[in-house]
Chains A and B, each alone.
Chain A
Amino acid sequence: MSRKDTAHGLLVSPIRNGTVIDHITAGEALNVLRILGITGSTNECLSIATNVESRRLGKKDIVKIENRELRKEEVDLIALLAPQARINIIREYGVVEKKGVEIPHVIKGVVRCPNPGCITNTNEPVESTFEVLDKGLHCLYCDWLIKDDIANHII
């Protein structure tokens, strides 16, 4: 761990095994957790720091999740909210893998379609499915386009 992180030691202490998501767009940490399906009722041991000073971003959020290595698909969803995020996989206090996030082409079951008339908002056995375009998220069922505020539509 770098000296910079140690400076925030009280806020975010180093973890032995798990995942550190760094350089999250400031204010998006809780939405990142929602995207990962982490809620008050799940078991992860978490540390969250928000609005941490960062040379690259001005301010940033950091999330540390102990004893869980995130899968590639999970990580990529984070790109929707925090395209600059960096993922560090930690084993025995050391970073064994560093990766950026990549915006997926299609996301399933993560975002609710804002169109009340959309079939995915009924009790049908299908997951919401969006195609990720430059201009927003395009519902592949009803053609609705989510242009901004993606975090508000996370399931």
Chain B
Amino acid sequence: MYHIISIRDFEREDLDYLLDRAEVFETGRYPPGLLKDRLVALLFFEPSTRTRMSFAAALARLGGQSINVDSVEASSIVKGETLADTIRVVSGYVDAIVLRHPKEGAARLAAEFSSVPVINAGDGAGQHPSQTLLDLYTIRKSMPLDGIDAGLLGDLRYGRTAHSLALALSLYGVTLHTIAPTGLEMPVNIAVELRERGVEVVEHASVEEAIRELDVLYVTRIQRERFPDTASYYNVASSYRITTQLLEGVRDHLMILHPLPRAGEIDPAVDRTPYARYFEQARNGVPVRMALLHEVMR
């Protein structure tokens, strides 16, 4: 049985294979009803409407059906019942479980107790592999992943999407450029791990300094709650804002990605430039999740 728990579990060949499969699903050249009669539990213990809808859409396009547990019901399940027990019960009803949970490592635990495949749809500040796959997929649609210059901008300390994307990109011999506000730099152990994996990590003080060298700029949200007061938040946030002026002289094929929702890191005027690819990125969630769902249940 095959679970999708962490991007760390994947070798480069596995990623390439899943991205190839996503491409097949995006082009629509696949037999209808591949997951007909398959039932999937979307078990969301914290709200994430977007991720849940994206999985539901992916499954519906493959002819499968989902049963939902929303966060309100989930919180009542949680009362007095361990996740392990919930998983043992629910895995008796369905053919696969998509799990979103506030605790890190929840998906790993679920996989141990489940009798059906588990797909991690985000556990706490931990792993969210389908997000990373759709990030990779979006880049790969425009350029080969090998050897690109990828910039990571924003909260690199707590931003799990940036960590897993960096780990995934390490399999493709990229150069990583990190741009983070003071105090929100990438944790030392992750930077060390990336270097051990042979990635060149270049730290930049400002986005201006880095942006003209980049093929991809991955912007993450700077969370207001990480700052002691509103003033210092605005101070930092404004210095990490992508504007159309900033984009002068960048590489023609630069793509700006963001896992969304954004909170002002990208000026809406940027949306009209060819560099803005974050809505396309969100759309790519569906074929990528089709590939994952199909893979675990075929």
Interface of A with B (CB < 8 Å)? 115, 117-120, 122-126, 135, 139-145, 147
Contact = CB atoms under 8 A, between A and B. Distances in A.
Dominant secondary structure of chain B at its interface with chain A:
mixed
B108 interface: yes
Given A126-B84, A143-B8, A120 B189 contact: no
A124 B108 contact: no
Task: Pick the most buried of B6, B105, B125, B189: most chain A CB atoms within 10 A of its CB.
Answer: B105
B84 A117 contact: no
A139 B84 CA distance: 19
A19 to B, nearest CB: 34
Interface string B85-122: 00000000000000001111110110010000000000
Nearest to B123: A119
B82 interface: yes
14 contacts: A115-B104, A117-B126, A118-B103, A118-B104, A122-B83, A124-B83, A125-B84, A126-B109, A141-B105, A141-B108, A141-B109, A143-B6, A143-B8, A145-B189
Contacts of A122: 82-83, 103
Nearest to A126: B109
Contacts of A147: 189
A147 B190 CA distance: 13
B108 A119 contact: yes
Contact of A126 (B8, B112, B125): B112
Given A124-B82, A142-B104, A119 B192 contact: no
B104 A141 contact: yes
Nearest to A140: B108
Given A117-B103, A139-B105, A142-B105, A123 B82 contact: yes
Contacts of B173: none
A140 B102 CA distance: 17
B274 to A, nearest CB: 36
A76 to B, nearest CB: 24
Interface size class of B (residues with CB under 8 A): 20 to 34
Nearest to B80: A123
Contacts of B147: none
Contacts of B259: none
- 3 tightest A-B CB contacts, nearest first: A141-B105, A142-B104, A119-B105
B181 interface: no
Q: Of B8, B101, B189, B192, which is in contact with the most chain A CB atoms at under 10 Å from its CB? A: B189
A145 B251 CA distance: 38
B189 A119 contact: no
Contact of A124 (B102, B104, B109, B124): B109
Contact of B126 (A125, A135, A143): A143
B109 A119 contact: yes
Given A119-B109, A126-B109, A143 B104 contact: yes
A124 B110 CA distance: 10
A133 to B, nearest CB: 10
B125 A117 contact: yes
Given A124-B82, A126-B112, A118 B105 contact: yes
Contacts of A143: 6, 8, 104-105, 126-127
Contacts of B102: 117
Contacts of B101: 119
Contacts of B123: 119
Contacts of A144: 104
The interface centre, meaning the residue of A115, A118, A141, A144 with most chain B CB atoms within 10 A of its CB, is: A141
A123 B102 CA distance: 14
B289 to A, nearest CB: 23
